[in-house]
Amino acid sequence: MKTDGLTLLGLGLVHPRAVYRCYNELHAYLAAAGVDGVKVDVQCILETLGAGHGGRVQLTRQYHQALDASIAKNFPENGIIACMSHNTDALYCSKQTAVVRASDDFYPRDPVSHTIHIASVAYNSVFLGEFMLPNWDMFHSLHPAGDYHGSARAISGGPVYVSDAPGKHNFELLKKIVLPDGSILRARLPGRPTKDCLFTDSARDGVSLLKI
């Protein structure tokens, strides 16, 4: 008996000929509900699904063309953040997406992850910052590492946004990095390591400073 894996298990592939309709219907619904942008996650999975669809590059190209067209129609201010998209297929097929996640996730329950997180986004921005706007991910403002992450976002050159639970906010911190109208004082260029620490392991060697 044949089964629809997408319906039964939540795992499957929308045929590339239908993917624009899928994106457009979803984005039109969200835009009508007042949503002004989306974060499109797990983009790298396409590189494992190209068999029978012209290969991974062709599949990625078709998906990104459909995604770009849907975003342009439904979120005219280019309201998209690309996420889990560091494979070259995704990076070079993204003709319109401007903001790309430069890191692994923010892990609020893992106290040792925060130093690695900031080091990773800074070093990844050396490459990504040449052709996209690196996004250093969301964070919790009411968190022991909230000031640390907030300071990093303020100099990142990218967006500042939080994933706080409703009612759990550190407004004193947020007021330092976001203006009253919701805009930010964004650096002209992405934050990147200075030359003297470009080839040091400042996250783990216990000696070097990471200077951005």
**In the prediction, which pLDDT does 1 show?**
46
32, with CB counted inside 10 A (0-12, 13-18, 19+), is exposed
Q: Which pLDDT tens digit goes with each residue over 153-189?
A: 999 999 999 999 999 999 999 999 999 998 999 999 9
Q: Which pLDDT tens digit goes with each residue over 113-168?
A: 999 999 999 999 999 999 999 999 999 999 999 999 999 999 999 999 999 999 99
**In the prediction, which pLDDT does 94 show?**
84
Q: Facing residues of 139 across strands? A: 162
pLDDT average, residue stretch 190-201: 95
Share of the chain above pLDDT 90, in %: 73
CA–CA dist 104, 84 (Å, integer) = 8
